[in-house]
Amino acid sequence: MVVDEETALVSTESAVFLQKLVDKNLISESEKQFFSKPRKMLLVNFPARLDDGSIKLFSGYRVQYNTARGPAKGGIRFHQDVSFGEVKLLAFLMSLKCAVANIPLGGGKGGVEIDPRKYSAGELERISRAYINAIKEIIGERKDIPAPDVNTNGQVMAWMLDEYEKFVGEKQPGVITGKPIAVGGSHGRSYSTALGGVIVLEKLLERLKMQPKGQRVIIQGFGNAGSHAARLLAERGMKIIGASDSSTTLFNESGLDVAELLASKGAGALFAKNARKLSPADFLEQECDILIPAALSDAITGANEGRIKAKIVLELANAPVSPGADEKLFEKGVFVIPDILANAGGVVVSYLEGVQNASNYYWTEKVVNEKLDEIMTQAFTDVFDESRRKNISFRNAAYVLAINRILTAEKLRGNY
């Protein structure tokens, strides 16, 4: 496949972050250039049969950004707005995320341009199988390991695993993670992204000498990560005062009933008694202790960062705070726990799932969570210490830490 220079460049948003690191003398210009392009980008246009018997051509992507520290790792999303630019950014972030967590994996990402709401379960199965069949040559337990992402789940991963195993002619459960437990998945994977975020949040509260109980939390996005975060934080005595999804925003400064939120979301419509609805913009700007963007990117930008009243922002979504807004929030004394640390719990347990697949020995949920806690605690400590040592934001500290770890691997390999 031929890709022009503009398409191959790292996304504008990541380029801005990298340039800021150069401007602050945290990385060199040559180091920035080394990270400016992904190592491999694949575009596939593949056919799948619909229920009416017709054949439709779908477009899919897979990007392997950097694999110096291990096989590429990253989810597959089904969304009508998937593009090379988005997949490239997410693969870049995955490279950094795995390095921040200090697990032996590189960064990748994939996606299919599709609105899954418009297709039946049978059609989604055929599309899933056709996509994995189209990219099968570049994935593998030791090459590139996909996982679920936006609008994909364990069932989709099971279909993809089955299709891939037909191709190789043997069982290879470690080629895909985020699988159902019955086909080699790991306990704890379904809520690992949220739990990883909660762990690093607790560690920051400890450092700031803030008690978890009574902290006021607003969660934008009540999908898998956001809903599990609400449950876990409520269990720790925190007060969820705001929750939103794509169709509604609910706010009550006295606190929302998390059990009611979870039950209503499961029934298909987020609801809570005694809650008032706000506009999406006003919702983010309410006074709180902890704001958790857990939806899509660019929730906080230069247009609204001046009105953010949270003390801590925990990025469970990917890239929800723009580069300029991140800098301004740091100057205001807001602690932003960046996505490559805050939502790394998912890839950590995916890594642990792969370890279990390789050994054919599976741990209990308690053991998995203990291992997740150990890895996330160390990752937070590394980032916090780097931030304090250099008097830089958590994001800059996480980027520098990750880039240096990747460059060390590249230097040892003789590539840089």
Tens of pLDDT, residue by residue over 252-264, are 999 999 999 999 9
Given a contact cutoff of 8 angstroms between Cβ atoms, the answer to whether 189 and 178 are in contact is yes
* Total residues belonging to the chain: 416
Neighbours of 255 (CB within 10 A): 18
What pLDDT does 6 receive?
A: 39
Task: Give the range among 129-138, 237-246, 292-301 with minimum mean pLDDT.
Answer: 292-301
Model confidence at 337, in pLDDT bands (50, 70, 90)?
very high
Question: How many other CB atoms are found less than 10 A from the CB of residue 119?
Answer: 18
Q: Enter the DSSP assignment of 183.
A: G
For 302, phi and psi rounded to 5 degrees?
Answer: -60, -20
CA gap 287, 280 in Å, rounded = 14
Rg (CA), the chain: 21
Residue indicated by tokens 């699988």: 179
**Upper half-sphere CA count for residue 241 (Cβ side, 13 Å):** 18
Q: What is the pTM of this model?
A: 0.92
The per-residue pLDDT for 200 is 98
Asked whether the beta carbons of 287 and 215 are under 8 A apart, the reply is no
* Greatest extent of the chain over all pairs of C-alpha atoms, in Å: 62
Is residue 11 over pLDDT 60? Answer: no
Does residue 24 surpass a pLDDT of 50? yes
Show me where the domains of the chain are located.
Answer: 5-9+20-173, 191-342
* Contact status, residue 92 vs residue 107, Cβ threshold 8 Å: yes
What's the rounded mean pLDDT across residues 210-236?
Answer: 96
Q: Domain 191-342 class? A: alpha beta
The DSSP string of 46-87 is EEEE-TTS-EEEEEEEEEEEE-SSSSEEEEEEEETT--HHHH
The encoded tokens of residue 394 equal 């958590």
Identified catalytic residue from 97, 109, 179, 239: 109
Q: Give the model's confidence band at 17: pLDDT under 50 very low, under 70 low, under 90 confident, else very high.
A: confident
Residues 312 and 335: beta-carbon distance below 8 Å: yes
For residue 297, what pLDDT band results from cuts at 50, 70 and 90?
confident
In angstroms, the CA 326 to CA 393 distance is: 9
Take residue 199 and report the two structure tokens written for it. Answer: 């762990």
Stretch (H or E) spanning 381: helix 365-390
Query: What average pLDDT is seen over the chain?
Result: 93
Tell me: the pLDDT tens digits for 82-132? 998 889 988 999 999 999 999 999 999 999 999 999 999 999 999 999 999
SS3 of 113-179: ECCHHHCCHHHHHHHHHHHHHHHHHHCECCCEEEEECCCCCHHHHHHHHHHHHHHHCCCCHHHCCCC
The answer to whether domain 5-9+20-173 has CATH 1.10.10.10 is no
* Residues 6 or more apart in contact with residue 54 via CB below 8 angstroms: none
Nearest C-alpha neighbor of 223 from the set 266, 259, 271, 260: 266
Sheet holding 144-148, edge to edge: 40-49, 55-66, 107-113, 72-79, 144-148
179 annotated active-site: no
Q: How far is CA 259 from the centre of its chain?
A: 25
199-to-221, 377, 396 alpha-carbon distances in Å? 19, 7, 20
Q: Fold match between 5-9+20-173 and 191-342? A: yes
